[in-house]
Amino acid sequence: METFFYVGTYTQPIHFGTGEVLLGRGGGIYCIALDHDTGAARVVHVNPSVPNPSFLCCSGQGFLWAVSELKEYEGMESGAVSSFRIDRDSLALERINTVPTMGEDPCYVSVAPESGLLFAANYSSGSLSAFPVNGDGSLEPIRQLIIRSGSGPDVGRQEAPHVHCAVPVPGMGRIMVCDLGTDRICEYPISTETSRLLTNQAREIAAPAGSGPRHPAFSAGLDICYVSLELSSGILALRREGSGWTPFQTVDSYDKSPSQGRNADNLCADIHLTPDGRFLYCSNRGRDCLSAFAVAPDGTLSHRGDFPANGRTPRSFCIDPSGAYLLCANQDSDNVSIFRIALEDGGLELAGAVDIPTPVNVVALPELD
């Protein structure tokens, strides 16, 4: 049996907030097939139609959306987001349309199906863009642009807001936004009448100062949320209480004990739960590992181990829908590593890798309607 995934890449130079400039080597959006029996993967096709398609999302209706992580688009200080139709036989992508995000360096894209809205997080501009999605997958022009304000104590990375993601809370008509620049996690309600975010009803949670919240992962019951903290290399656990969230645990994103001797500069990145909710994983750049945590019945985390990513700078990763495999995009070693997940203890065993230049994001193709 094969499962299919799409991989977003950098195709052009990208300027990071750290001052680093990366020369993107990717060819566009890659489709890969994973053999569940062997763990081997192969590239099915490459779609080169848009620049820097770093982050992706797709739907069971046969559509895929991708940001173009750019500082300038059609003469504007803006990135862009594109919609694609997925061919149900070949899984090739046909571009439908592209619209500007009106913010620089969009680094995350998501769709809230209940509202019919797509969201793009503009990192460098510290803003959030919302677009209506039509029935044919195409995007209408931007409907709402939320520009955040503030800063944090890290003068090199938190001189201004930096919206790193916008993730719908499934079935609850809300979206969670992580602002790395201001150490804030913000939940916005979505109006079903106007298909807009209700900024006057937003609820903010303060992350630890200087921690840099990046991505959230929700438990199946949506009562617990885990947030990766990029700058402090930590994980913040939140419990929903009434209409808000209350922090109840903070853990290191990898083993920082002196005996490890590996406490060099590290930036925590992506975070995901297994489908059964028993294990949580996060990626660590610098340490270049994937760290595993067991999830107790009360939601608390206990570290289970750090596993080499089989590459440099592990960015986004994806757990396949069966919970058997984890696929990790290693940006600076031009490969996507494939790991088997041990059902007993959550350990990771390297099963193989597929060569893809400057990969950033991996998403599973859902079962098509």
pLDDT per residue over 89-123, tens digit each? 999 999 999 999 999 999 999 999 888 999 999 99
| Distance, CA of 91 to CA of 73 (rounded, Å) | 28
Which tens digit of pLDDT belongs to each residue from 285-338? 999 999 999 999 999 999 999 999 999 999 999 999 999 999 999 999 999 999
Cα four-point dihedral sign 86, 55, 336, 47: positive
What amino acid occupies position 107? C
* ∠ CA 113-131-103, rounded to 5°: 130
What amino acid occupies position 201? Q
User: Collapsing DSSP states into helix, strand and coil, what is residue 35?
Assistant: strand
What amino acid occupies position 211? S
pLDDT of residue 17: 72
CB atoms < 10 A from the CB of 369, how many? Answer: 8
| Distance, CA of 18 to CA of 263 (rounded, Å) | 19
Which tens digit of pLDDT belongs to each residue from 148-188? 999 999 999 999 999 999 999 988 899 999 999 999 999 99
Least trusted range by pLDDT, from 108-112, 253-257, 298-302, 354-358? 253-257
pLDDT of residue 18: 74
Residue 67: pLDDT band by 50, 70, 90 thresholds? very high
Strand partners, 217: 226
CB atoms < 10 A from the CB of 360, how many? Answer: 24
Assign residue 299 a region: left if phi > 0, alpha if psi is -120 to 50, beta otherwise? left
Q: Is residue 263 scored above 80 in pLDDT?
A: no
Q: Which pTM does this prediction carry?
A: 0.96
Q: Is residue 7 scored above 80 in pLDDT?
A: yes
Q: Hey, what are 276's tokens?
A: 């059964």
Long-range contacts, stretch 46-50, CB < 8 angstroms, 24+ apart = 47/84, 47/92, 47/93, 48/11, 49/82, 49/84, 49/93, 49/95, 50/80, 50/82, 50/95, 50/98
Residue 25: pLDDT band by 50, 70, 90 thresholds? very high
The chain-wide mean pLDDT, for the chain, equals 95
CB atoms < 10 A from the CB of 116, how many? Answer: 16
Phi, psi dihedral angles at 331 (to 5 degrees): -60, -45
pLDDT of residue 20: 82
CB 316 within 8 A of CB 326: no
- Going from the C-alpha of 348 to that of each of 309, 310, 316, the distances in angstroms are 10, 11, 16
